[in-house]
Structure 1
């Protein structure tokens, strides 16, 4: 049973604040070592809990591979090696984003068990991502301690857009462009010369000093 004295609640809130500040300072932080932010008195207040963090937004182009990042910290006085994680699209508890889902079949990669259990990683990679896969994705982490304990991220918005290929410049177009510019220069020169001759014919010839 957790201790919910005011002092313990204060330490719990302080711990949450420290973890969030660490994530803000380094958005690519994958794992926070509990020993750096927790002391034994906090562990005494928090017998077990899971804090899960996700990047708010990820952009990808159609057909590319995108990583949905999720990291967690497990606060527990127990040693455990029984845990797993899941990803959902749009709805918690709905169809999982996994290779067992026909829509994502053979297009989902997961981190190794070592990375999950030892490094606090719960990432997935989506390969050949499609436009219709834009949306909100949720990371869920679960461990079997003295009871099932779950933690949830704060959703990641995946924005998939078309990849616009810029065609290389056409050499023919380059030649046409250069020719056009030369013609403009010649035309301006011709008109300037014609105006100068007309000005001379009207009696404005330049005087010559003997």
Structure 2
């Protein structure tokens, strides 16, 4: 199997410094990254994450809130049941400012500025967790997974999309690699992921991987909190 190209430079931006721009710019930039790097249509992601909205739902990390809002709208259009409580956690103050504006007046959504490796919620609290477009940006994914496992109820499911090395024809690969290098420089991407290594990470953190498949340059994974 040919080796995957490494992407340089590695991200040196830490914490919320990578998200100092206004939230509207983050949304616009995110849309082009989704189309150019992930190479997945937005409604494919929305349909995926809308399937995992339990009574108490955790969105990790919620960012500007735009994708979460669209996910709830997708569920409403499909006639599905909406969560009674949505907790959105993000460490970036500028991103949460956009989410607070979007969800102002909502009794359903609670927004918390925090590190996902230190969640101030009790054990076995959430019925569902989504990690949308952000797992590959976590500096310490194992710490996050351990903490998510703690706050999830038994049998609760975790849905995640993970950015993998570009696939497809030369033009698509070159476009994705150019965008990924930009994201690394900006600090909004920590690494590209390998499918087997990602699956092993979840299993090492006591998750049962129920399903996994690739769409575009994205590995969609469905995991469940393990009994053990």
- With normalisation by structure 2, the TM-score equals 0.24
Bigger radius of gyration: 1
- Counting helix residues as a fraction of each chain, which structure ranks higher? 2
